[in-house]
Structure 1
Amino acid sequence: MNGMRLSENQKSKKGKILYGFVAGMLICLTVVQVVQVRYLSVLEQKYSESAYETFCLQVVKSRAAQISMAARMYNAELRFFTDDKAVLSGSIPRIRALLAESGNFATEYFMSFGFIDMDGNLYLSNGAVRSVQDYPYFKVLVNGKLGSYVTEPYLLAGEVITIVARAAYDASGKLIGWITGCANVRVFESIIDAIHIGENSRAVILAGNGAVVAHTNSSLVFNTNYIAPADDSAVSETLARAAQNMVALQSGLASFADDRGRVCLFYSPIDGTEWSFGIEIPFSQIYEQSDRIHQVMLFVCIGIGAVLFLFSALFLAKALKPLKAVEKAIAGIAHGEADLKYRIDINRNDEVGRLVDGFNAFMAKLHEIVSNVKHSETDLIQVENQLRECVENSASSMIEITGNIDSVAKQIANQSAVVDQTVSSVTRITENIDMLESMIQEQVSGVTEASAAVEQMVGNTSAVSSTVEKMAGKFNELESSVTDGLHYQQSVNDAIVLIAQQSSALMEVNTVIADIADQTNLLSMNAAIEAAHAGDAGKGFSVVADEIRKLSETSAAQSRTIGNELKKILASIESVVRASEKSKEVFTAVSSHIRQTDEVIRQISSAMEEQQIGSKQILDSLRIMNDSTANVDSASKTMAAENESILAEIEMLQNTAASITCSTEEMTAGAACINSASSTLSDVAAAVSDSIQSIKTEIDTFKI
């Protein structure tokens, strides 16, 4: 049966080695190949992107130049008109006659021709005249004085057309207007249809307003606006942002998504216009070559892995084939008669040979061990007898030890009871000391707070006393100032009275001036009468009398004015006199109140001095009480510390008693365990004897 398990284990081990080695190689190879393929795929994609980007940007620029050349051909066609003598003459009738004849040489580029003068009048080849002053393209032409211009496309009679304008100059070089041609943009569609990069690429021409001028998908022409798409349009937000860059006449690339998946848009401006050209290429087309390479590399890796797996399996099967012979030899030994002299006779200079040599050496060592065990059989019997004697002696000694341990346990129990009573008494003393210490701490706290409050009160009293003294000084200064104010007020009153008296004198003077004016007026009237009586001889005197009359009237008027102003001044002076009298009365009342307040301040100052003396006496008493309380607190803490020391010693004694009790219990338990172990040892000795006999029987089965 042992041989069967050996054979099964050998087969299992061989299979595990084979499959494990092959699986490890395949896993390593797979990981390496996957990393390699992935790395190469990424490099190929980056290379494809870079190559496509460079190539497509070059194609876009070249195609934009081609479209620009086509636009220039439009402009070149108009040169036929601008170089004509009718245009050089600057005569509008001759230019209109030239346009009327243009139907004879219409080209594939233009449907009709016209002329726009500087006033915005458009003269068509069919003789019609219309105003284009409000048209955007006319404003661009006039403001920019452009030599040529291509307008945004628009629908006319179902056709998408654009207006091409070329500046017209007369013989003197003066700008007289622009020759225009109505061009069909289908020529751009033919250029777009000829542009193909791969199977799924699309070309597009955008006008300056975002409208599609030409597209590989003709249904989008003039029906789609990339910048302002309709609600049901397939134009995405990213494509609309790219269109913003296109109409801004920038070059570059952008990506967006449509029915083809992710698409890359390459774009470039068309020189000479406000249009832009672009090519849309799906990313699937860009990565098509790299995806093919990735698939080929993956198939190659799978093939290499399969070949390596096959060769590895054949090699391992051949290498493990000699193990079958070893397996048979080991099975023969396992199913035989336990002959330890048997050896495997296989000579190989490889791993199998070294395995056989190791097995033969193991069998030799096992033969030696079994031989020594047989020789030790007598020694085991002697040891069995000695063990039985030791077990019997140990049993009698354990009975005596157990009795002694019981006696010691009783004495320790009595001692523990006494220690417990002592601990209880000391604990009560400690509680009383703690209560006393708490009361002392409360007293100390109360005395400290009272001392602080009294000190604060003393400080406040000192501050109040100082403030009161300062207030008394300020009141003295205020009283002095009020007295000086009364003197100054009296001086002001005297001055005002004097001014009032002088104003009365001015009134009298003004009255005298008024009387003089009246007398002068009467004198002038008498002089006028006398001059009238004198006739021509009194004309000179009449003039003098007239001047005197005017002077008297002026003096009377000024006198009245001065009288009115003096009355106002007298009224103001009287008001000031009354206010001054009231101010004097107020100053007198303020002085009286200040004296009364000063008396009150002095009484407060005297009371604060008495309060400060009493507070200092209370503070001294509290300090003495605080010192006494501190001494009591110190003594209480010393007593508590001594009590804690006693309690700690008693706790140590209690712990020692408890430790001794535990030790005694452990000794009792140990004695019981030893007694039990002795009984068990007797049983073990009997079992050892039986085992020795069994081992002797089993060893005798080996052939040595």
Structure 2
Amino acid sequence: MAREKSQKKGKIKNKLLLFLLPAVVLTILALVLISGTLSRNSMSKMATAQLESSISNQGDNIESWLSQNLENFSTVKQAIERTKPDEAGLQALLDAYYGFNKNCTDGVYVATATGKMYKAAESQKTVTNPTQETWYQQGMTRVNMDYGAAYQTADGKAVISASGILNDGSGELKVIAADLSLDKISTIVNSGVKMDQAASFLVDTGTYTILAHRDSSRIFGELTETDSDKMMAAIAKKIKDREYTTEFLSGNAVAFSEISGTDWVLVSYISENTILKDVMKLTQILILVGVVAIILIIVLINLTVSKVIAPLGNITKSISDMSAGDFTIEVTNKSNDEIGVMGTKVSEFVVSMRKMLADINQESEKLKEQSDNSDRVSKNMFQASQSQSDAMKNLNQTVDQLAVAVNEIAQNATTLAMVVSDTRENSNQANESMKETVEISKQGRADMEQLNHAMQGIKMANDELVDSINEVGRVSEEITKIVGLIAEISEETNLLSLNASIEAARAGEAGKGFAVVASEIGKLAQNSSSSAESIARLIDSVRDAVASVVEQAQTSARNIEENSGLIQTAVDTFDRIYENIEKSNQLIDLMIQDVEKVNDVSSNVAAISEEQAASADEILETSHQMVEQANNITQSSQDVADNSHELANTSDTLTAYVQQFKI
């Protein structure tokens, strides 16, 4: 009972929920994790792409600004070189171009190798020894004006100078230069970032000097791998290794862009946490949605499972009632799925069992009535058989005495009949043996004739086989001729291919396509020739095999002819044996007729005695059988009575079993 209760508690609903809910939870968690990971990767790629786009735009702006200013300075240089002015003219040109470029506050200026300096009258630039200045030394190395390394002026101002050799026709070595403040570049670097919370700085890779940075304390500071800021140290290492690929360094996405025409590298970076801020929010939303989805799915699964397996409760109760012997239940079915089919089958089983139990109950009642009748009949038979048995015992004793006397009379008459009978039996056996010998000889003669006909058939079939094989040999000869013809055609085709290749070579470029075709035809001809040789070898092998088979077939034909002669001789011998056996059989028949006459005489003598003895024996045997039958009837009636009692007990037991069920 305790076991049934424990089994009852283990519901299918709980098992389904136990399997489904973890799977659903794990699936949703996996989806949230995958979505978060994909979002993180997608956001990182988008941020990296945006950062690269931003830094590219900043680099383009810096390059454009530098190019515009360089073109402006080059225009002044070209004007001076074109006019070839004297000192007064040079001064006038410098004054004229002063203020022409707002980014160059000191205007364009010129220095000579002797240390003389020319500048606009309004320029505030002061130089003690021009030849020792950075811009002068850089300008001495190039004819066209170009930018050099950034440096700080005497008053601590960060500038970059464009300088070059000036050829004004005076024959004196001069350098023309102009200064650009890096403040404008700092403005481009710090304000040109498209991404929120992203920052940039500019580095001169020649000196590892920071030219622009949002932190003014770092401007003109050196970028080193030992920087306390791990990101700056990692950036210094990449710049030193000239690796300008975008990647994440110390929790920041870092992009690099080289400024064309300079040794500068623009570095832009943004914190990974800033990039992934939206991803974290999205992940939190996904987790919240996942939790809500899990709760909803659990509720839906619970309702669905409860609705689906609800019919199982009624079916389970019905099966429990049936196991307790109650077949009065009615199983209802309201669905057409597997559970509905189960309910239908259980209902059909209940109806079938109810009918079966009713039929068994009826049959047990009939069985009980029949067992009572058998018991009464067996008792009557037992009494009658006992009376008959006593009477037959008395009759048996009388007949036994009569049989002894008759047997003594019949023994002497029987002795003579036995001798004659033995002689007759021997004659009959000899006659039967002779008849069997005659039949065997007939059968042997017929078998030999059939064997002769079979050998003739084999000989004809062998002749047809030889003709067929000869035909195969003739056909193989024809194939050999055809293969030879194919070989000749292949040789001619190969020769034609060779001639075509020669003609194509003579045709030059126009014959290349035809040369390829000629080459392919040559290969085809060689393959055809090789195949023809292989076929010829195979046909030679076939011809040899055919010759061998023809020789073996002819040998078989000669053996068949020899065996046919022997078989005909055996047939003649069987004919002579059959004639002799026929004569012997006729003589035995005459002897049997004489023995039959003697047997008839002896049989008549013993017949009367035997009939009397037989009659007595039959009477005695009949008497014995009747006594035995009477005893058997008595025993059988007793057995019937016992079986009747057992049958009645079985009927009662069966009825008790059936009554345990409620129908």
Task: Please give the TM-score of this superposition, normalised by the length of structure 2.
Answer: 0.45
Task: Please give the TM-score of this superposition, normalised by the length of structure 1.
Answer: 0.43
